[in-house]
Amino acid sequence: MPDTLTIPTELLPHDGRFGAGPSKVSAFQIEALRAAERTLLGTSHRQAPVRNLVGDIQAMLGAFFSLPDGYEVVLGNGGSTLAWDAAAYSLVQRKAQHCVQGEFGSKFAAATLGAPHLDTSSVRQADAGSIVLPELEDGVDVYAWAHNETSTGAISPVTRVRGASDALMVVDGTSAAGGTELDVTQTDVYYFAPQKSFASDGGLWFALMSPAAIERIDRIAAGDRYVPAILSLQDAVKNSRQNQTLNTPAIATLVMMRAQLEWLMSNGGMAFAASRTADSASRLYGWAEASPVAHPFVSHESYRSPVVGTIDFDPSVDSNALRAVLRDNGIVDVDPYRKLGRNQMRVGMFPAVDPEDVSRLTASVDWVLERLVD
C-alpha cells in the first residue's frame, strides 16, 4: 500500500469539512465576525448591541420554524448536553420515557435515570441504525427522543404521542434543527445547539418551548425540588425574555449563528435548508447503493438521515486507511461515531455543505478505493 496518495484536484471537494458536528463554518460567517469586531465582540452582553443580536437570532429562529403562537425561543449556556440535565431538574415532573437509538438518546436517558428526585425512567431501545417510537405509558410526563440520532445517522418522525395530553414531548433536535423539516406543534421542547446545521460554534443551547412546557417549568420551580441555578429553565426563560442568558455567552458564536440564519432565511428558510440537505443525501446514498463495496448503514430508507449519512464498507475495505488518505488530502472528520465501532464513514451534510462537494467526496472515495483495495 502506498503511504501517500494524492487525490487529483479536479475530484477533490472545494471544502473538505464533513464533520457530523461541528459543521463546516462558511466564509461569510467569518466576515460577519470581522464586521462585529468593534461593535459586538468584547462588549457587554447586558447592553443593547448584544441583546439585539440575541433578539435577532430569536426572531429568525421563530420565522425559520414558523413558531406557533405562545411558543418561545429560550437559550442558555452549556450546549445540548446541559439541556438534558436541565430537563431532568426543570421539566420532568415524575417520570420520563426515552427512546434510545444511539449514543445521544442514551445520554439523555442517563440524565433522568440518575436524577434522585425522579421515578425510574422507562427506556425503549432500538438497534443501532434503526429507530423506536415513543409509546403511551401511564405515569409518564415527558416523552423524549432525538429527531436525528447523530451517532448512527437515523432520523425519527416527530409526532406527538396520541392520548398523552398532559405529557410533554421533549425532542433533541441538535443535529436536525435547521437542516430538515419540522412541525413544531408536535413538540413542547425542541432543543438544539448552534454547531450543527446553524454552522456556528458550540457552547449554547436553544429550545423552542410551548406554553405547556413553560407552565410545567413554572410549576416545578414553585415546588420544593432543589434546582441548581444553571439547570433552572425558569431562570433561562426569564433571561431569554430579556434577550439575555443567565451567564456570559460566547458572543462570536452568536454572531456566526445570526449570519447563518440570515443566509438560510434569504434563500428560503426551512424549505431551502431541507432541499439542500436532501440533495446532498441523495447523492451520498445513491452513490453507496450503486457501489459494490459501500452500503447505507441505515437499511430502512425513510430512517436515513439527510444531515448525517452513515455508510458501511465491506470487510475488503480498510476504512481506517481510507479515512487516513482522505485526511491527508484535506477531507476531514468522516469518522464513524467512536463507540459504534463499525467499518464505516459518517458524513455531515449540514446546510453549509455544498451538495456538489458531496459528489466530489464520493468521487474521491472511489478514486482512493481503487488504489487501496488489494
Backbone angles phi, psi at 104, to 5 degrees: -70, -40
Q: How far is the CB of 86 from ligand PLP (least distance, A)?
A: 12
29 or 80: whose CB is closer to ligand PLP? 80
Nearest CA-CA partner of 127 in 100, 148, 106: 100
Q: How far is the CB of 83 from ligand PLP (least distance, A)?
A: 8
82 or 220: whose CB is closer to ligand PLP? 82
171 or 368: whose CB is closer to ligand PLP? 171
Q: How far is the CB of 195 from ligand PLP (least distance, A)?
A: 6
Q: How far is the CB of 215 from ligand PLP (least distance, A)?
A: 25
Q: How far is the CB of 81 from ligand PLP (least distance, A)?
A: 3
29 or 174: whose CB is closer to ligand PLP? 174
174 or 277: whose CB is closer to ligand PLP? 174
Distance CA 219, CA 129 (A): 38
Residue appearing with cell numbers 451517532 = 151
- Return all residues near 131 (Cβ < 8 A) that are at least 6 apart: 99, 101, 149, 154, 155, 156, 300, 303
21 or 351: whose CB is closer to ligand PLP? 21
Nearest CA-CA partner of 260 in 22, 14, 18, 12: 22
Which chain residues interact with ligand PLP by CB under 6 A? 21, 79-81, 104, 146, 150, 172, 174-175, 193, 196, 202
Dihedral sign for Cα 300, 196, 180, 360, please.
negative
Q: How far is the CB of 369 from ligand PLP (least distance, A)?
A: 28
Question: Shortest Cβ contact with ligand PLP: which residue?
Answer: 79
Q: Residue 231's CB: how many other CB atoms inside 10 A? A: 20
Helices (H), 179-232: 211-222
Distance CA 178, CA 197 (A): 5
